[in-house]
Each structure stands twice: as C-alpha cells, then as structure tokens.
Structure 1
Amino acid sequence: MRHLVFLLLLFSVCFFTLSEVVDNNFSKCNEFFLNNAPPDFTPPASVSVKPICQCVWVEENKKPQKKYMYATLYSTTWKIPVYSAYVFASPNVMRQDLWYIEPQLDGDSEPCMGPQGSDDNIGPNQAVNDDYKNNKKYNKGHLYPVLHTNNRHSMLATSTLTNAAPQDSTFNKNAWLGHERSVTEDLKSCVKAYVVTGVVPDMNAPKLNNRVYVSKYYWRATCCLKNNQYIGKGYYGPDNNGKVQELKIKELQHKLNGFYQIQNFEVFPSVPKPPKQAKIDSPCN
C-alpha cells in the first residue's frame, strides 16, 4: 500500500525524483565534477560513506527520461552528507518544504527517493524527519541550495535529507544565506561553474535526536570558467566571528584536512584543460 500511494503521488505531478547509490567514481553522474573527477576524499577510519547520484524522471513524449541533477557523498555513520557537487544555475525557482529520504540506504527494494512513510526499517543509515522535530537550534541546511537551481526539477531534487545537515539556525538564516546570494552574483556571469559544498561534523556537540551529527562548519568551493580563464574560490564558516570566510582553494583544502583529520583532500583533483590560447591565472586547485 505504501508503494501504491507513493506511485499515485508521483504520477500526479508527471515526474518523480530519485537517486541511485553508485560506484565510488560516480560514473553515472560524474558530469557534475570538474573534468568528471570527484573530490579526492578518503574518510577517517570507521566512517562509512555512500556515493549517490541524485536524479529525476521527466516525462517526455509520454516516455520517462532519466536526468541526473547532482551528486552527493553521504556518510551513513554521521548521517549527514560529506559534500554535494553540482553545476551552478540561476535564477532559482520557488522552494518547497516537503523533504524526502533514500529508502535504498536502509535496504529497501524501492530505488527511488520518496516520502518516509511508516516503514520502521528506515533510519539506521540516514537521517529522517523525526530527527529534526522539537528542535529550535538547528535548521535543515541545504548543501545544494535552491538559490543555485533554475528549474523545478532541480529544486525538488535538492529537498532530500541526504542533501542537508543540521545547521545552526542563526548562521543559516544570516551569514550563510548572504554567502549563497553573493556566490550567485559571483557565478552568474560564468560560462560554466562547478560547485562542491560540504559539511564538517562537530564531534563534540550532542547529536540531533542522539543520532545525527550536527555541523561544525559548512564549506564551499567554486570553479568558474570566464573569459577563457578558470577561477577558483573557497569558503568556510562560521569562522571565529560567526561569518563566512573566503580563501584560496589550497588554503581551504589545508583547513579541511585538519577539520576532518585526514590527509590530501583535493576538492578539484583534475587541473582543468583550458580552451585553445587560454591563459589560466587562477586554476581551481
């Protein structure tokens, strides 16, 4: 019955969002990474991660067509994403407040992103809506934000808990929102812009609902092609003043190595190949 209700809901809007747990190279959706190369990230010992291709089924000529929208590396240990990667687009469309989960992360045969329903088996490997109930300190903080989408399919695909982490509500509504708007202005003149946004968990803070790690830092790296040049920028926050700090990609990677307690985290591991006669003053590495 749960699947029947879900199918009726899906067909009522003529398309449905879904995701696929895929191989470590994101081979089905690597177009969202610079030069098709995902970040070089090895999680700390004892931390499990799952690569997910977030996509939608769109009905075209009365036939379903699969379209991937972005990629996510999700930690089933922390129950928050490590990062989401996407190609920037603007202007955005109106957001919605319905949040989905990924049944397949908990062994359900349903391969599609969908409402949580009443399945008691959902939750061992991911956050669920109940984890955020009765909580005033944290918001569901998007990694791939609605502000950086330009169509309804992309907007809906961002509303899964595998693309969100508990983010301090004051930081989310003020400094981070202002940062997202500034990035929108910075990237909208790019020929193409690749973005990777991630979360660093707070190992010392109480878990949300005693299950989900809350965020200590949010970070973002952008790689913009403009005027035949690749320009990379890094950001993280909150800093000691509760703001978002801008820095070079190499500086961001150095900080992330310390934050995650790992070595050699490269956000853009492949040096971009420039167009003919292009000069790259600020490569994205």
Structure 2
Amino acid sequence: MLGLLLLQVLSSCLWLGHGEVVTSFASCPQFFYGGTFPNDVLKPQNPAYICQRYSNSYHYATLYDRARRIPVYSAYKYKPGSAPRPHTWWFVEPQLINKNSLKDMERESVLIDQHKFTLDQIKASQAVLDDYNKRTDLDRGHLSPNGHQESRESKTATFTLTNIVPQNSSLNKGQWNIYEAKTMPKMSKGCTTTYVITGAVPGNSYISDNRVNVPSHIWSAACCLVGTQPKKAWGVIAENDKNQVENLSLGDLEARLSRLYRGRTVTLFNNACPRK
C-alpha cells in the first residue's frame, strides 16, 4: 500500500513538471503584486491557469476559459521596450490539448506537422486561427499587448490565441489603442514597477459556430509601486461594441466588475494598492 502511494505521488510530481498549465499560478506569481491573485469571482467553470512560456522563459500569466475559448484576464508587469514588433504568426497552447511534454506555446502548423496533433484536438479546448478569419468587425485583441513588453521574446509571447479575445475593431484600433500607447505611459511615469491585469467580461454572443465568446466589456487595472510601496492605482473599462474607454479608480473598476458579475465582490489586487 505504501509503495502504491509513493508511486502515485511520484507520478503526480512528474506530471506537474511537464507543463505550465496547472491548477494555480504557483510557477509565475511574479506577475501579481505581493503574490495576490484576483479572487475567484472571475474564475470560470473550466479554467486553465497558464504561465505563458516562450523561449524557455515566463513572460506573463493568463487565466483561460476553456469552455468559452477566451482568456478571463492576463497579468503582467508594464515594461515597454524598444525591441521591434515581432513576426505576425500566432501561437496556441499545446498544454491545453492533453498531457504532453511540450512546455512552450507553439504554432498550429508545427503541432500538426511535427508533433502529429490534429486540428480537432487543438480546437477542443481553445481558439484557433480559423475562428478569427474573415471577421472584419472583430479584431484579435490582446489582453497583454506586445507594446507593453520589453524584449523581442516577451513581445513575441503575446501573440498567442490564449491571450486574445474578439475585440470590436474600432475600439481596438481607436480608444483602446490610445489607452495602451499614450495613457499608460503618462499614468505610469515615475513608477518603479507597474503591475497590470487586463481582462474581458464574457458576453452573450459567440463567433465561429458558437465556439468563441465575444466579451461584453474589456477592462484593465494597474497598481504603481514607487520603490517597494504602492502609491497609486487606476482602471479603465470599455463596452465591446463602442469606441469609448472610461477612466476609473481601482475601487470603482472593482465595483463595476462586481455588478457585471451579478453582485459578487471582485477584488483584483493586493489590498495595499489604493482603491480611491
């Protein structure tokens, strides 16, 4: 009996060592201030906790909804860098497919041609490129944008469909882009470290034969540290069918999300981050 128990424990440890899609963000807590994660109100029924790994390094963290095939949120440190925008190909997450030893995100074509996965296996638990093709009204909207990352590797790592939601094209190219490219640099000026969590509220409509959910809202929250102390925080939210972004305090954003999640209290950051 003892031998069997030890074998089961050993098997569990070996499986945990094979991948970064596990039951928590224990492998990548550095993307959350104070190691504090958003509370479970945002947790979907069939979640995947992804430590987004590319080129043998972690670059941000994503809570993914396998059933709706969109991320709930991505968390990262705001470190815009001068590295050029990377290639335009897109990745998927092999660890969402089944138990395998592939740790890094990979292209669909590589998984099919070199690792003998089928497209149906990939599609079972995540979005694929075909889900977004031929859509002119909806963009592949990043939650962790490449422009907020420092290195070429980190920028490349944002081009995975587990970091993407169907986002209104005019919003993505308009006011949301202004927030990412102009407002964030102004708001984070003087911050030693800025922690960011950007997410999507699931909506009532789907694309691609009801495979991929279209969020009703896109939101983002930030907590700014000067030295090691949080000094200010802020948030924004946008309805996904309008080209408008509303600026809020962190506390007001959490209150808005709480209403959108049927009155259940949402907390995004460690309590030390200012709510007003």
2:47 matched residue in structure 1: 49
Say which SS state the counterpart of residue 237 (structure 1) adopts. Answer: strand
Matched, 1:128 2:118: no
Q: After the TM superposition, which of the residue ranges 29-38 and 100-109 deviates more from structure 2?
A: 100-109
Displacement of 1:38 after TM fit? 1.1
Matched, 1:114 2:106: yes
CA distance in 1, matches of 2:138, 2:93: 21
5 Å-filtered alignment, 1:272-283, equals 272=272, 283=274
1:265 matched residue in structure 2: 266
CA distance in 2, matches of 1:86, 1:144: 7
Answer yes or no: is the 8 Å Cα contact 2:69–2:126 preserved in 1.
yes
TM-score after normalising by structure 2? 0.82
2:76 matched residue in structure 1: 86
- Per-residue Cα deviation, 1:46-87 (whole angstroms, up to 9, x for no partner): 731111101233xxxxxxxx4211100000011000000001
Answer yes or no: is the 8 Å Cα contact 2:174–2:243 preserved in 1.
no
1:162 matched residue in structure 2: 162
CA distance in 2, matches of 1:260, 1:97: 34
Displacement of 1:108 after TM fit? 5.4
1:14 matched residue in structure 2: none
5 Å-filtered alignment, 1:135-146, equals 135-146=135-146
Say which SS state the counterpart of residue 256 (structure 1) adopts. Answer: helix
Answer yes or no: is the 8 Å Cα contact 2:200–2:215 preserved in 1.
yes
CA distance in 1, matches of 2:249, 2:139: 28
CA distance in 2, matches of 1:256, 1:250: 10
Matched, 1:223 2:239: no
With over 3 angstroms needed to count, the CA separation of the structure-2 counterparts of 1:226 and 1:240, relative to structure 1, is farther
What runs of 5+ residues in structure 2 fail to find an aligned partner? 1-17, 113-117
CA distance in 1, matches of 2:250, 2:188: 16
Letter in 2 for 1:199: A
Letter in 2 for 1:30: P
With over 3 angstroms needed to count, the CA separation of the structure-2 counterparts of 1:47 and 1:164, relative to structure 1, is same
Say which SS state the counterpart of residue 61 (structure 2) adopts. Answer: strand
Structure in which a larger fraction of residues adopt helix: 2
Matched, 1:199 2:200: yes
- Per-residue Cα deviation, 1:122-148 (whole angstroms, up to 9, x for no partner): 111110001011111111000001111
Answer yes or no: is the 8 Å Cα contact 2:168–2:240 preserved in 1.
no
2:26 matched residue in structure 1: 27
With over 3 angstroms needed to count, the CA separation of the structure-2 counterparts of 1:84 and 1:19, relative to structure 1, is farther
Say which SS state the counterpart of residue 131 (structure 2) adopts. Answer: helix
What runs of 5+ residues in structure 1 fail to find an aligned partner? 1-17, 58-65, 273-281
TM-score after normalising by structure 1? 0.80
Q: Percent identity?
A: 34
Which of 61, 81, 98 is equivalent to 2:89?
98
Answer yes or no: is the 8 Å Cα contact 2:54–2:104 preserved in 1.
no
Letter in 2 for 1:48: N
With over 3 angstroms needed to count, the CA separation of the structure-2 counterparts of 1:92 and 1:158, relative to structure 1, is farther
CA distance in 1, matches of 2:240, 2:140: 20
What's the Cα RMSD here? 2.3
Letter in 1 for 2:173: K
With over 3 angstroms needed to count, the CA separation of the structure-2 counterparts of 1:103 and 1:240, relative to structure 1, is closer
- Per-residue Cα deviation, 1:155-192 (whole angstroms, up to 9, x for no partner): 01111000010101111000100011211232143111
Letter in 1 for 2:47: V
Answer yes or no: is the 8 Å Cα contact 1:92–1:146 preserved in 2.
no
Displacement of 1:99 after TM fit? 0.6
CA distance in 1, matches of 2:245, 2:104: 35
Letter in 1 for 2:63: L
- Figure out how many residues of one structure are paired with residues of the other and give that number: 247
With over 3 angstroms needed to count, the CA separation of the structure-2 counterparts of 1:127 and 1:166, relative to structure 1, is same
Say which SS state the counterpart of residue 114 (structure 1) adopts. Answer: coil
CA distance in 2, matches of 1:123, 1:149: 28
Say which SS state the counterpart of residue 126 (structure 1) adopts. Answer: coil
With over 3 angstroms needed to count, the CA separation of the structure-2 counterparts of 1:108 and 1:122, relative to structure 1, is farther
